[in-house]
Amino acid sequence: MILGTGIDVVDIARFAETLERTPALRTRLFTETERDLPMRSLAARFAAKEALAKALGAPVGLAWTDATVVRDDNGRPSIEMIGTVAARAAELGVNHIHVSLSHDAGIASAVVIAES
């Protein structure tokens, strides 16, 4: 059963300007394994984290670094959750997260579906 859905869109150039203007934001938003990825990938991961928060009901107190977007050997993305994000998912009865990422024409986007 679907428990929540989320979608987010990020303008890659604007996101890059924000990270350039506020370098500490990169550490606040991304885990160590994500931080050095190309900007289009960072923007897509930020969109995924926003979409995940929406799918989980956008509660206050989720830590950005408690969710990491990873790819399997075939390039398929998934989200690893710990701490505040994992706790919220458990509270809702989420057993699986589906995620799709895209970036084209200067836009990064993500869709997340939370399922029991």
Residue of 55, 37, 30, 49 whose CA lies nearest to 116: 55
The CATH classification number of 2-115 equals 3.90.470.20
Residue 59 pLDDT: 85
Domain segments of the chain as ranges = 2-115
Q: How far apart (Å, rounded) are the C-alpha atoms in residues 6 and 99?
A: 10
Region 36-44: mean pLDDT is: 97
Tens of pLDDT along 48-81? 999 999 999 988 899 999 999 999 999 999 999 9
In order, the DSSP letters of the chain are -EEEEEEEEEEHHHHHHHHHH-THHHHHHS-TTTTTS-HHHHHHHHHHHHHHHHHTT--TT--GGGEEEEE-TT--EEEEE-HHHHHHHHHHT--EEEEEEEEETTEEEEEEEEE-
pTM beyond 0.75: the answer is yes
